[in-house]
Structure 1
Amino acid sequence: MAIEEKSLLDALYCSEEKWNDVVEDINDDDVEIDTHTNTNISPSLFWDDDELHSLFSKETQTHPNPIHPSLSLPRKESVAWILKTNSHYSFSPLTAILALNFLDRFLSTLPANDNHPWLMHLAAVTCLSLAAKVEETHVPLLLDLQVEDTKYVFESKTIQRMELLVLSSLQWRMNPVTPVSFLDHIIRRLGLKSYIHWEFLNTCETLLLSVASDPRYTMYLPSVLATAAMLHVIRRLEPRRAAEYESQLLSVLTKNKGEVDECYEVIRELDSISNTGLSFHGLKRKMCQGQDGEILSDSSSVCKKARVEQQQQTLSPLSAN
């Protein structure tokens, strides 16, 4: 009997049969369905469409305006500090992405000559503080937050005053649409619940953070960044079926292929000089190990490649002798 080849990315293939399976698998306790209607479509799918349309309509409202080129280098240093401190305190990736959104929106309101180093660092500390208060359950004291490569140390009252200035500049919109909003939507919409699928989400988030310091990051809407990041992960994991998944993703997110391809090339270029490849190898191994009871077929291209890489790593010390 032939063994059906399974993959983490199969869930991204949204055929009509897949959607019917999702509807049938929904627990009656989770979703209340009106039995007096004649439709067989779950109301949750209509809710998903409404949510997606809402994300599309709101993403432009909280997307930063173009930042003056003179602020590119100070921004890069501020982003690096935010990411280091975010990692130091084990904050979630969403906290870092929120902080970057706050920072970019604030910087887009500054004039070109307002790029004093102390102001850039104060803005970074302030934006991470605000993001942590929004997303984290435990937030360090403002003085304790300034631990990573701190050239300037600001008093708590100075940061608090800066928080009010940033909040005013952002018009108090502290729940922006980010790339994670779309990643999370796809994960939930396609019923991706296993540990491996959350690893896929985490890999996409890590990829986005690894390219965030580049000024081109701010050129693309969150939906475009999310789509391009998912496509990059998919093409690294299963290149032979990438076109299949790409078609489905573009269909769900209704994005212009040319714009997504342009963003994808930027991400691919930046990823080629970063260390995110380690995450891909780790994800491949976990997929083949079948975490949470999901086991891939031995014929899976992902598993074959992962086994070859593991064998090469094991044999390389012997070859050196």
Structure 2
Amino acid sequence: MELDLHNPLTIHQFDGGVLSLFANESEHMPSPISFQSSELRFAVRRRAISLISHAKFSYKLDPLLVYLAVNYIDRFISKHVILEKRPWISHILVVACLSLAAKMRNSDLSVILTDLSREEGFDFDARSVQRMESIILATLQWRMRSITPFSFLRYFLSFLEIEDSSLTQALIHRASDIIFNVQHVLKILEYNPSTIAASALLCAIQDLMPQRISFSLSAISSCEYLNQDRLLECLGSMQEIVAAECAEPNPRASESCTLTPTSVLDRQCGDKTAASSKSPHH
């Protein structure tokens, strides 16, 4: 069954409704303490994030697939003992995690993964990649249907009493952009996926409908499954990250900092039109 990051649990797993997501989310988180206590783990992660970001933009990979792969990378690095600093470790880890994420998302990345396996002077054969996949699966205890912040966005949106579907779509789109953009930040690994989702949605509200931020913060904070102190901490960190990106001389960052509900929807429509106009390549 293809993994939908917005609805990651199977029907059997979701018997408890949204409570199942909150009850199981900690099993899909890395341990931030592991990164803080090991410079080697930090170095491997930093290199892996750089490699996967390069692949994302070079091959125009599905952002959700890349997010899932980085989730696997973070969880693996935080649980697996890395004894040596070898340049190939980050590289084969990226290839294997992208391969696993592609299988979970029912995406064919075979050609891209072959190219990635041969970049920077490396040449990982299929058996080496499969062996790495097996190590990752064992380390993560086969928990590959990751519960991520995307799994909670619509739940928290239901607290806001917004009837305009175009506005809810714009908020989800903006919150998703923020979640993608903060994944590389080590500080964010300290928070549960649900807390990250709630914080990203509040940042999106602050961007697109600032007049409702006080009401929205109060409404979302009323969720019995959220720790309010942790929510405020995460929200503060996320606001700093978003503000820093807006201050950078980056056209993409500047654009995301001046979005309105209309401009978000216009961009979505433009993306869909451009995608539909492309003919498939075989």
The higher radius of gyration belongs to 1
Instruction: Tell me the secondary structure at the aligned position of residue 174 of structure 1.
Output: coil
Provide TM-score, normalisation by structure 1. Answer: 0.66
Residue 79 of structure 2 is aligned to residue 102 of structure 1: no
Residue 211 of structure 2 is aligned to residue 211 of structure 1: no
Please give the alpha-carbon distance, in whole angstroms, between the structure 1 residues aligned to 2:166 and 2:110.
29
Instruction: Tell me the secondary structure at the aligned position of residue 272 of structure 1.
Output: helix
Choose from 122, 126, 130 the match for 2:100. Answer: 130
Please give the alpha-carbon distance, in whole angstroms, between the structure 2 residues aligned to 1:193 and 1:126.
42
CA contact (8 A) 1:64 1:218 kept: yes
1:65-80 matches, cutoff 5 A: 65-66=31-32, 67-69=34-36, 70=39, 71-80=41-50
CA contact (8 A) 2:147 2:193 kept: yes
Task: Classify 1:83/1:205 alpha carbon distance in 2 versus 1 (closer, same or farther; 3 Å).
Answer: farther
Task: Classify 1:174/1:288 alpha carbon distance in 2 versus 1 (closer, same or farther; 3 Å).
Answer: closer
Q: Please say which of residues 50-59 and 132-141 is displaced more in the overlay.
A: 132-141
Structure that is richer in helix per residue: 2
Instruction: Tell me the secondary structure at the aligned position of residue 273 of structure 1.
Output: helix
Code of the aligned partner of 2:35: H
Task: Classify 1:277/1:225 alpha carbon distance in 2 versus 1 (closer, same or farther; 3 Å).
Answer: farther
Residue 19 of structure 2 is aligned to residue 53 of structure 1: yes
CA contact (8 A) 2:25 2:193 kept: yes
Displacement, 1:82?
A: 1.8
Partner in structure 2 of residue 176 of structure 1: 146
Displacement, 1:98?
A: 1.2
CA contact (8 A) 1:177 1:222 kept: yes
Q: When the two structures are aligned, how many residues end up with a matched partner?
A: 243
Residue 56 of structure 2 is aligned to residue 86 of structure 1: yes
Ranges in structure 2 where 5+ consecutive residues have no aligned partner: 1-13, 246-251, 270-282
Ranges in structure 1 where 5+ consecutive residues have no aligned partner: 1-47, 293-321
1:178-257 matches, cutoff 5 A: 178-186=148-156, 194=165, 196-252=167-223, 254-257=225-228
Displacement, 1:144?
A: 2.9
CA contact (8 A) 2:69 2:98 kept: yes
4+ aligned runs moved over 6 Å, structure 1: 188-193
Q: Please say which of residues 129-138 and 170-179 is displaced more in the overlay.
A: 129-138
Q: Percent identity?
A: 28
Provide TM-score, normalisation by structure 2. Answer: 0.74
Task: Classify 1:150/1:130 alpha carbon distance in 2 versus 1 (closer, same or farther; 3 Å).
Answer: farther
Partner in structure 1 of residue 263 of structure 2: 286
Partner in structure 2 of residue 266 of structure 1: 237
Please give the alpha-carbon distance, in whole angstroms, between the structure 2 residues aligned to 1:193 and 1:155.
51
Partner in structure 1 of residue 11 of structure 2: none
Please give the alpha-carbon distance, in whole angstroms, between the structure 2 residues aligned to 1:203 and 1:110.
34
Please give the alpha-carbon distance, in whole angstroms, between the structure 2 residues aligned to 1:50 and 1:73.
39
Code of the aligned partner of 1:134: M
CA contact (8 A) 2:195 2:231 kept: yes
Please give the alpha-carbon distance, in whole angstroms, between the structure 2 residues aligned to 1:114 and 1:184.
42
Please give the alpha-carbon distance, in whole angstroms, between the structure 2 residues aligned to 1:187 and 1:244.
13
Displacement, 1:192?
A: 7.6
CA contact (8 A) 1:206 1:276 kept: no
CA contact (8 A) 2:30 2:189 kept: yes
